[in-house]
Amino acid sequence: MTTAHISLPSQHARTLSRISRRLVSLSGLGSAGERAVRIKARTGALRPRSVPAHQRGSCSPTTSDRERIQAGRQLLQRVIDEHPDDAQQVSSAHYSLGDTFARERRDTEAQEHLRACLALEATVSVFHNTELRLAEVLIHDNGASSLDEAWELLDVAADQKGVLFHNIAWRIEIVRARLRAHQGDQAAAAAHARNALQLLDHNEPQFNRHPDVGLIIPDRANLRELKRLARR
């Protein structure tokens, strides 16, 4: 799949960014199982706490998925290159690029874009949970400085104003458990793993009109990891 290059007026940056983010989202949220879970949660046909772990898709992208992801990345890069004065859309483009690279464990590129997003977020009223996403990338590096920075980012992510969604709290506790395990503090890792597992006992809708917002959809690998850490 290729994208024809045409010069886009500034007012189209928002549309371009939305289309490109939809394309690249296929790398992480494209499984039929997860889409079905979210639809059922919205309609009330499935209670959030009943979400089966096996429905969290983890299959590798197909060739067509990779083509769409690459097309989406090209469009996101155009938002950055052609609309540098639109800080809100450029920050969102950097986040989406960083997220897709993180999913592929291309950590250097992921960090570059997530840090660019953080720098822009300070100038606009937009929020992507970038601190958390960057912390998730940094713990792949066992270096002490990276782990220290990741912990500081998690403190920021957990101290956001407003509602802390269950799925965000879940991700924070997972990263904290992994981080402490990397540092050799098994007791702290176990405590954070138990905190994450306890969140599943309260995996209820936080907004009646949007029952899938904040919904935790755990996958088998995360559950196995948390249970293993919690036993230490």
Residue 151 CA, chain-centre distance (Å), reads 17
How many Å apart are CA 152 and CA 158, to the nearest integer? 10
pTM above 0.85, yes or no: no
* Buried/exposed 127-156: b ≥16 CB within 10 Å, e otherwise: ebbbbbbbbbbbbeeeeeebbebbbebbee
User: 39 with 59, same domain?
Assistant: yes
**Cα gap 53→34, rounded to integer Å:** 10
Domain membership flag for residue 120: yes
16/112 same-domain check: yes
Q: How confident is the model at residue 97 (pLDDT cuts 50, 70, 90)?
A: very high
Residues 144 and 61 in one domain: no
Q: What share of the chain has pLDDT > 90, as a percent?
A: 50
Structure confidence at residue 3 as a pLDDT band (50, 70, 90): very low
d(CA 86, CA 127): 15
What's the total number of domains in the chain?
2
Q: 132: which 2 tokens?
A: 């958390």
Q: Can you tell me whether residue 126 is helix, strand or coil? A: coil
Lowest average pLDDT, out of 46-50, 102-106, 110-114, goes to 46-50
Assess contact for 132 and 157: CB atoms under 8 A.
Answer: yes
Cα–Cα distance between 230 and 6 in angstroms, integer? 53
Q: Is residue 158 part of a domain?
A: yes
How far apart are the C-alpha atoms of 43 and 46, rounded to whole Å? 8
Q: Does one domain contain both 49 and 109?
A: yes
- Whether residue 4 lies inside any domain: the answer is no
Do the domain assignments include residue 102? Answer: yes
Domain that holds residue 123: 12-128
- 50 and 17 within one domain: yes
75: DSSP letter: H
Give me 202's structure tokens. Answer: 């309260």
Contact 49, 203 (CB under 8 A): yes
One domain for residues 157 and 102: no
| Domain end position, chosen among 95, 128, 161 | 128
pLDDT at residue number 105: 93
- Residue 6 included in any domain: no
54 and 110 both lie in a single domain: yes
Do 101 and 163 fall within a single domain? no
